[in-house]
Every structure is written in structure tokens, then in C-alpha cells.
Amino acid sequence: MPAIPRRPGLFVVAWFLGLAIVAQTAPAPVAQSAPAPAPQSPAAPSTAAAPAAPFVFAYNYHKGDKFRVLSEVSEDIFVNHVLAKSTEIMNRIAFEVADTAPDGSSAKLAGTFITSERAKGETNYVVTGRYDSRFDQNRLGVYSIDDSYFMPVVRDVPTFPDHPLSPGDTWTAPGEERHDFRQGFGIPEPYAIPFVARYRYDGPETKDGRPVRRLSASYTIFYEPPVPSVYNEVYPVQISGFSDQVIWWDPAYAQPSSYRERFKIVLDLSDGSTIEYRGTAKSSFVEATLMDRQALQAEVEKAVGGLKGVSVKAVSEGVAITLDDVQFTADSAALAPPELEKIARIAEFLKEHPDRDIIVAGHTALAGTSEGRLALSIARARAVADRLVELGARTPLHIQVEGFGADRPVSDNSTPEGMARNRRVEIIIREN
């Protein structure tokens, strides 16, 4: 039995991300002239109002726009029908519209996907994967993406017919999941699972004070894949499952603004064992505001002025507050009292700037084993993040923990002074 493959929130990160170009051979969604099998998602509540006018669903973006998507997954994992793990997953997706077609028919998007997990009952999420992706999407939602990209997981959901839709209209369209099975199965390439999605336009409604259009989507999977050319000891021989979704489309943004989902997927493996994932997911979309890094850096420097061993600098992700030579109880992740004072000052500043997510990154000196250094860097970053949450600087959904061990030194590990500088924790205020 292999290690359980990590799944970055199976169904939850696909369709918030962009416009793209249609491959010439890509099949278009098929509108139904008669009612198709209805998605299993709950039907929209009926009203006595007059029938809504037909609506044209089409993605629309502007070059330079930046967006952020946060999705939450609550998932149970069963191995041979026995509960093996209960976990909560947070997917944080930041992307930018790199370019658009002159006629507005498509756009090119560049995104970074960060997957974090925590065991149920824990406070903070720990980063388990980072992925970059570039892809196109047309105004109807169809992707064009190189086979080398692992993200987005779900592609071509939702896609739309090229004509107006009225409440109650249904249609079908092909889609695909791509999974990272490198861990556990040793399959090096993104693993493709095809499906056909069923859609229904439920009608207009109001959600969170905004006028939206509600969609229901569902698909089932029953797939017997070919034997992979490269794998470890075992591989999937049959994949089955389902996804039932409710999607809220925001006409002002011309894309989905949020969704919720119920899912299950079962992998039957070549050694006769099974892995089953089941759970729920929800997600929301946020338009990012640009960060004035120099101005924010100056504000942070003023707020932490006088704190020994604390420095501030602008970085590619935003503005980083570095705590050099962080003091912990020997061979542990328990913060020493002087560090608690520093974190309290930083927390006060962060509470005054609540709109930016943060990531807390831990680093160690070059001592011990690689595995031990990684675990210690995560534990120490988590200690800082836990304290920030306790002080009300952020909620767990807006803070992530990441450990790098000794992989990113800033000084020479051959001297005591250099090792002290490398034992650091960075609190990064993110732009997007």
C-alpha cells in the first residue's frame, strides 16, 4: 500500500481562473432541447416573480487585473474502507490577467496555487504544495493549457453554450481533472481524468447583498485508465466518484464569485486496495488591490522600530518582516519571552492592516538531518503563527505556515554568527 497521495482540494480551484483560447478541436457545450438529467445539487427556491429574462454567460477580463481565490475543503480519507485521515485543506490561488485578445474573446492567465493542510482540530494551515500555471480560456470557459501543468485541478467547469439561457435551461459539456500523483504513486506527469458535466441555470438571486446568477453543476466519474508508463509499486486501475456543485455567477465580474460542493472519489489500485476521498468544499473570489510596497515597508519599519533582531524589506510576494536568530526553548518550538514581546508589537500592526493575507516561513541553520530541519522549521513557524492568531492579528484562513529547513540560508553556516542569522522566521504580508 503506497503513501496516501495528496490531493490539493479535488474539485475546487478550476473555474475561478480566467479566460482562454479554444483549441480548434475542443467540443462546444451542448444545449438540451429537452430536459436533461438534472444535477443533484439542491434546486433554487421558487418565487412568484415574473420569469427572468434570458441571460448570456461569458467570461470577461482586463489585462493587468489581479484576483485571489480562497477555497476550503473538509475531507475524510478512507483506506480499504477504514478512516485513515481527516483533514482540512485551504487552496490559495493568486493570478493575474497577463493578456487579452483584442476582441475580448479570450485571455491569458498566470497563476500561483498554494495548497495548505491542517488536521482537524489544529489551528493553522501548513503549506504542502506550490504550483505555477499559465493557461488560456475563452469567453465560454474552455481551457487551452499545456499538459505539463498540474493546476488547475478541474478544467472546463463551468462552460456555457454560445446563446442566451433562461432559468431551467440545461446543457452538458466535457471537462477534465488533472491530479498530482507524484507522491504515493510516483506518476510524474499530471494525471488526466475525463468526465461530462451536467448543468442547469437556476435563475437570478441575491447573495451577500449582490445580484448573482445561480447554476447547478454535477458530474460522475467512472474511468478505467491505461497503465502508466512510470509508477512506483501500484497505480489506479479504476477511478469512480461524483461532484455536486452550486455555483454563483457574478454579472459584474463576469465570472463565478463563489461555490459550494459535495464530492467523493474512489481509487481502486492494482494491488487490490482502495483509497476513498469524501467531503465538502466552498470557495470565494476576491479582486486584489495593488500594494505600495515602499509605503507599506516604511509603515512596518516605523511600527517595529527599536525591536532588536527585526528587519523589514520588500520582496516579490509583498513585504517581509524578518525575526533574526529567533529564540526558542532549547530543541523545541516554544517561543522565549523576548520573542513574544516582538510578536505582540507586530500583531498590533497587522491588526491595523487586516486586508492582506500573511505567510509565516520558518528557516533553520545547517544542523541535524534534512528531515529534522524541515520539521523544526515548520514547528517554529507554526509557533509564531499560532501566537499571531491568539493575538487576533489574523484568522487561520488568512495565515499560512511554511517551512524551508536550511534550504534558503542568508548567511554562512560555518560560523556561529551565520547560523544565528539563518535561524529566522519571516512574516510576509502578501500583495495577492
Is the confidence at residue 211, as pLDDT, over 90?
Answer: yes
Query: Domain holding 334: CATH number?
Result: 3.30.1330.60
Let me know whether 325 and 205 are in one domain: no
**Residue 19 confidence (pLDDT) above 80:** no
Give 360-383 pLDDT, tens digit per residue.
999 999 988 999 999 999 999 999
- Res. 120 pLDDT band, cuts 50 70 90: confident
359 occurs within a structural domain: yes
Residues 162 and 299 in one domain: no
Cα 189 from Cα 186, distance rounded (Å): 9
Give residue-wise pLDDT tens across range 414-427: 898 888 889 899 99
Phi, psi for residue 349 in degrees, rounded to 5: -65, -45
pLDDT at 33: 41
Per-residue CA distances from 267 to 181, 236, 311, 328 (Å): 12, 6, 48, 43
Bond from prior residue into 152 cis (ω within 30 degrees of 0): yes
Q: Which of 287, 309, 329 is the last residue of a domain?
A: 287
Same domain, 331 and 278: no
Report pLDDT for 35: 42
The most distant pair of C-alpha atoms in the chain lies apart, rounded to whole Å, by: 77
Q: At 288, is the pLDDT very low, low, confident or very high (cuts 50, 70, 90)?
A: low
Residue 137's pLDDT band (cuts 50, 70, 90): very high
- Report the run of H or E that residue 287 belongs to, with start and end: strand 274-287
- DSSP 8-class letter at 165: B
- Cβ contacts of 274 within 8 Å, gap of 6 or more: 78, 79, 80, 81, 266, 267, 268
Q: Label residue 40 by pLDDT band (50, 70, 90).
A: low
Cell numbers describing residue 206 = 441575491
Q: What is the pTM of this model?
A: 0.82
Residue 82 CA, chain-centre distance (Å), reads 27
Quote the pLDDT of residue 373: 93
Reply yes or no on whether the pLDDT at 258 is more than 70.
yes
Which has the closest alpha carbon to 213: 39, 31, 57, 40?
Answer: 57
| Cα–Cα distance measured from residue 358 to residue 381, given in angstroms and rounded to the nearest whole number | 12
First to last CA, the chain: 39
Q: Please, what is the average pLDDT of the chain? A: 87
Greater confidence (293 vs 35) lies with 293
Are residues 367 and 253 both part of a single domain?
Answer: no
Dump pLDDT digits (tens) for 46-55: 545 567 899 9
Segment 385-407 shows an average pLDDT of 94
Residue 245 sits in the same domain as residue 301 = no
Model confidence at 178: pLDDT above 90: yes
Sign of CA dihedral 389, 395, 399, 405: positive
Q: What is the mean pLDDT of residues 61-75?
A: 88
* DSSP structural state of residue 61: -
Residue 347 is predicted with a pLDDT of 97
Q: What percent of the chain has pLDDT over 70?
A: 87
Asked if 410 and 424 touch (Cβ cutoff 8 Å), the reply is yes
- Give the pLDDT confidence score for residue 133 in this predicted structure: 96
Give yes or no: residues 153 and 302 share one domain.
Answer: no
* Domain with 341 in it: 293-430
Same domain, 405 and 262: no
Q: Residue 100: how many CA atoms within 13 Å on its side-chain side?
A: 16
Choose one of 247, 270, 287: the last residue of a domain: 287
Confirm if 107 and 19 have CB atoms less than 8 A apart: yes
Collapsed DSSP state (helix, strand, coil) of residue 293: helix
Task: Report the CATH number that the domain containing residue 49 is assigned in CATH.
Answer: 2.30.230
* Number of folded domains that form the chain: 2
Residue range 231-249: mean pLDDT, rounded: 97
Amino acid at 132: D
Q: Beta partners for 259?
A: 247, 283
Segment 102-112, tens digit of pLDDT: 988 999 999 99
| Percent of the chain residues past pLDDT 90, beyond the cut | 69
Taking 60 as the threshold, does the pLDDT of residue 23 lie above it?
no
Domain identity same for 256 and 298: no
pLDDT attached to residue 372? 92
- 87 inside domain: yes
Helices 370-390 and 337-352, axial angle in degrees (round to 10)? 60
**408 in the same domain as 264:** no
Query: Residue 326 — pLDDT band, cuts 50, 70, 90?
Result: confident
Kindly tell me if the per-residue pLDDT of 73 is higher than 70: yes
As a whole number of angstroms, the distance between CA 221 and CA 279 comes to: 16
**pLDDT at residue 236 tops 50:** yes
